[in-house]
Amino acid sequence: MSTPQGMTEADRRIVAVWAADCAERVLPLFESEAPDDDRARDAIARTRAFARGELTAAGEIRRRFVAGRAARGAVTPAGTAAARSAAQAAGVAHMGAHALGAAAYAAWAVELAHPDDPDSRAAEVRWQLAQLSPEAAAALRTLPPLGTDPAGPLGPGLLSSGPLGVVIREIQTHLSS
């Protein structure tokens, strides 16, 4: 990878497990709105298969946008965010920084689904951090801080602002402490 956001393939396989866990936890928010659309579920399954070494990065790079298109079938912002979490998880095969995108979208999906619970997003982030293996945490620590490297998902785009940026910064702060 030409950017520090890419990680080695071995590290991408490690963080793919965590990204899939984050996305799978909110998958019901999407599936309840689009029960006949299996693209988000398939993206998570492919992410897990990539993590096990059953799929190549090259093959998954070509397919990483499929789940993102599923987000258009969601009815609510929570369902959309859940589908985007699956898409970000699938993107880990291409660039490891997408794991933080998967976590951020999942936490945002939970917040959107529970607007009356001011702790819902923070509780989801706590759950996510508790799921991190020491190896995944070490791999995520190799990523540049959000907004400092313009060459990937942690650059000055969508993931760096709003609730997504808040979640990623919170995770990166936790990892650096």
Mean residue pLDDT across the chain: 93
The confidence score (pLDDT) of residue 1 equals 43
The 3-state DSSP composition of the chain as helix, strand, coil percent (nearest 5) reads 70, 0, 30
Cα–Cα distance between 149 and 158 in angstroms, integer? 14
Residue 166: both structure tokens together: 């808040």
Q: Give every residue of the chain whose pLDDT is below 70, as ranges.
A: 1-2, 62, 64
> How confident is the model over 8-60, as pLDDT tens digits?
999 999 999 999 999 999 999 999 999 999 999 999 999 999 999 998 887 77
Rg (CA), the chain: 15
Residue 142: both structure tokens together: 């190799």
Q: What is the pTM of this model?
A: 0.95
